[in-house]
């Protein structure tokens, strides 16, 4: 077993060797600009991009022409929300989202509100889930967009996107989902779930960093977007700029592998995740699961340790890579907005650790992490004699992990 053990796969994933192999020729041998349509170098690059477009589309049940490549999910979220707000401003000005969304959705909504849009941010329950009926009640005649993530990046809970998509379709409101964490891990289908816009990221599915995609529905309804970038009309005018051909090739291959491996990988990671949680709970008191125990990503385990500071525990786990929440907000000292939105007190929030198991984690690594967590928590508690055991909840189960609504 190689140390340190990496269990922060919600922050980023290692590039799969098959993905790297697919990318390499496009740095040197096939280095053409995909927009150069007058010679073989450009044609080869363009063919590679279109092949990747089809690979990404198949993963989510879309058509290739509905995939727009971006620099990542943050840009995709910005393009979806800002693009709709601008393109539909004569139709309405109301957007509905949820308090546990990624900052690249919440901060965009805040910016749009400053510019005059009306934004409703819905609360979640203690398990981190939003009630679709709350979404329905929030809709008005001026609502143009609902944005609800498919899987939360901190606690891993799966949103009821099928139900929410259907009610949006019935009301003629566009539905966007940030599927960054869900893609390749649970079943996604833009048709079955009535999704009009979907954000994706390459580096969360064992592809390269710096590349993402946005699904933009072309019919029933045809979604209009105002572009964020002007300058060349690339990506059918929705995202100008020279395409990152090696990155796009890598994302395409990563999406293809994710689709092929999803069911087996989901089952294997569920077993490893449950073993990790069970092994920790068997030896420690005061361990509490954060987020719904059933409707969650197969590889996600977010737990709180009573009488423990998460940053101290992370430091003690020097040979295990884990986090206390979103990588995008780890530089701040503010408590997790996701756990706070779930109604947790600061003491529990500051004792929470996120384990993100992935494709390359092994049983041996899980056993090592169990030992290291148990030893570290015991040592830290020994230095804080006032420890009072807290309730331990039942561990995650495999039921419901398909992500289907």
- The DSSP-derived string for 253-321 is HHHHHHHHHHHHHHHHHHHHHHHHHHHHHHH-SSEEE-S-SSSB-TTEEEEEETT--HHHHHHH-TTEE
Q: Which of 109, 168, 194, 328 is catalytic?
A: 328
- 175-to-131, 144, 157, 196 alpha-carbon distances in Å: 16, 9, 19, 5
Among candidate residues 123, 186, 166, the one with its CA nearest the CA of residue 338: 123
Residue with tokens 């990221």: 201
Contact 163, 132 (CB under 8 A): yes
List the beta bridge partners of residue 121: 97
Q: Is the peptide bond before 9 cis (omega within 30 degrees of 0)?
A: no
Nearest CA to 377 among 277, 301, 327, 310? 310
DSSP-derived secondary structure letter, 128? S
Concerning whether 328 is annotated as a catalytic residue, the answer is yes
CA-to-CA separations, 55 to 107, 188, 208, 260, in angstroms, rounded? 31, 14, 15, 11
Q: Which neighbouring-strand residues pair with 175? A: 146
Q: What is d(CA 183, CA 29) in angstroms, rounded to the nearest whole number? A: 30
The alpha-carbon radius of gyration of the chain (Å, integer) is 21
- Please check whether residue 372 is in contact with residue 11, taking contact to mean a CB–CB distance below 8 angstroms: no
Q: List residues with catalytic annotation.
A: 328
């Amino acid at each position: 077993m190689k140390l340190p053990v990496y269990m922060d796969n919600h922050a980023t994933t290692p590039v799969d060797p098959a993905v790297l192999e697919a990318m390499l020729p496009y740095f040197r041998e096939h280095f053409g600009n995909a927009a150069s349509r007058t010679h073989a170098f450009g044609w080869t690059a363009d063919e590679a991009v279109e092949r990747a477009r089809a690979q990404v589309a198949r993963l989510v049940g879309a058509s290739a022409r509905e995939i727009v490549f971006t620099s990542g999910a943050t840009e995709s979220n910005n393009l979806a929300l800002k693009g709709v707000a601008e393109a539909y401003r004569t139709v309405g000005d109301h957007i509905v989202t949820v308090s546990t969304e990624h900052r690249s959705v919440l901060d965009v909504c805040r910016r749009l509100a400053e510019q005059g849009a009306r934004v409703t941010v819905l609360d979640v329950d203690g398990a981190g889930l939003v009630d679709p009926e709350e979404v329905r009640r929030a809709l008005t005649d001026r609502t143009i967009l609902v944005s609800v993530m498919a899987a939360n990046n901190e606690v891993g809970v799966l949103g009821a996107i099928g139900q929410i998509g259907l009610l949006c379709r019935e009301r003629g409101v566009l539905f966007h989902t940030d599927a960054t964490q869900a893609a390749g891990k649970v079943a996604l289908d833009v048709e079955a779930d009535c999704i009009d816009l979907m954000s994706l990221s390459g580096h969360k599915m064992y592809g390269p960093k710096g590349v993402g995609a946005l699904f933009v529905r072309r019919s029933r309804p045809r979604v209009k977007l105002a572009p964020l970038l002007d300058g060349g009309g690339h990506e059918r005018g929705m995202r100008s700029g020279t395409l990152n051909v090696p990155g796009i090739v890598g994302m395409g291959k990563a999406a293809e592998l994710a689709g092929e491996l999803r069911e087996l990988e989901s089952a294997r990671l569920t077993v490893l995740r449950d073993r990790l949680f069970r092994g920790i709970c068997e030896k420690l008191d005061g361990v509490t699961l954060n987020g719904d125990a059933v409707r969650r990503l197969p590889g996600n385990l977010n737990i709180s340790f009573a009488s423990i500071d998460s940053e101290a525990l992370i430091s003690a786990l020097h040979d295990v890579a884990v986090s206390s929440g979103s990588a995008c907000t780890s530089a701040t000292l503010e408590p997790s907005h996701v756990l706070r939105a779930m109604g947790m007190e600061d003491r529990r929030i500051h004792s929470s650790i996120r384990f993100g198991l992935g494709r390359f984690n092994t049983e041996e690594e899980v056993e090592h992490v169990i030992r290291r967590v148990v030893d570290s928590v015991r040592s830290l508690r020994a230095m804080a004699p006032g420890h009072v055991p807290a309730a331990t909840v039942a561990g995650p189960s495999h039921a419901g992990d398909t992500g289907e609504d």
